[in-house]
Structure 1
Amino acid sequence: MPKIYSEEFKASALELLEQGMTQKQVCQDLGMSKSALQAWVNEARLHQHGFEPAEDTEGKAEQARMLRRIRELEQENEILRQATAYLSQANLKHGQARPK
């Protein structure tokens, strides 16, 4: 029979992850399974992006694809931010030369 965890317990486990602990460490410290923690992480990610967790297998698969795509887009945006900052600094170092 699966254990029932309180919402406070779930929130504290997720907070430990945000503070930099690994999933393995959190599971060992709190005496829980990694699959339960991973389910809470996925649920939290869905809520963060404004989605309610799906009940059926097909819906869960679609949500997993959406989360992967969101993560890819966030990484791409971060790369573009860094490139923009780098190019802006390089432009300032060269006397703000502008192409004609």
Structure 2
Amino acid sequence: MSKSYPREFLRDARNRGPGVTIGQFARDFRVHPMTLQKWLRQAEVEDGTKPGLSSDAAAELRELKTRNRLLEQENEALRRAAAYLSQGNLLGKDSPAREGVGRPDAPNRCR
């Protein structure tokens, strides 16, 4: 909901009187009718008269999704780092591919 209009404005919009349409009320206060309708719908959700996601719950959901995305990225980075570091262990000193490398008494394999 817009920060420029207080809750009293929405209360007045709800109790606008018989015969006054949302369009007329919106025109009087220079608000687009669809915007006013959206604010009224969200106010009903906030009050609990209609089912839906409140502003606080929506903000919390956004924060949790952002946090989840960050944790997934961190997890992927750690997974890649672990894979990279484990490749270095594959060619360790006990590996057959490195047999004799660096030892003076080892037979020369390069001929």
Q: TM-score normalized by structure 2? A: 0.37
Larger Rg: 2
Give the structure with the higher percent helix.
1
Q: TM-score normalized by structure 1? A: 0.40
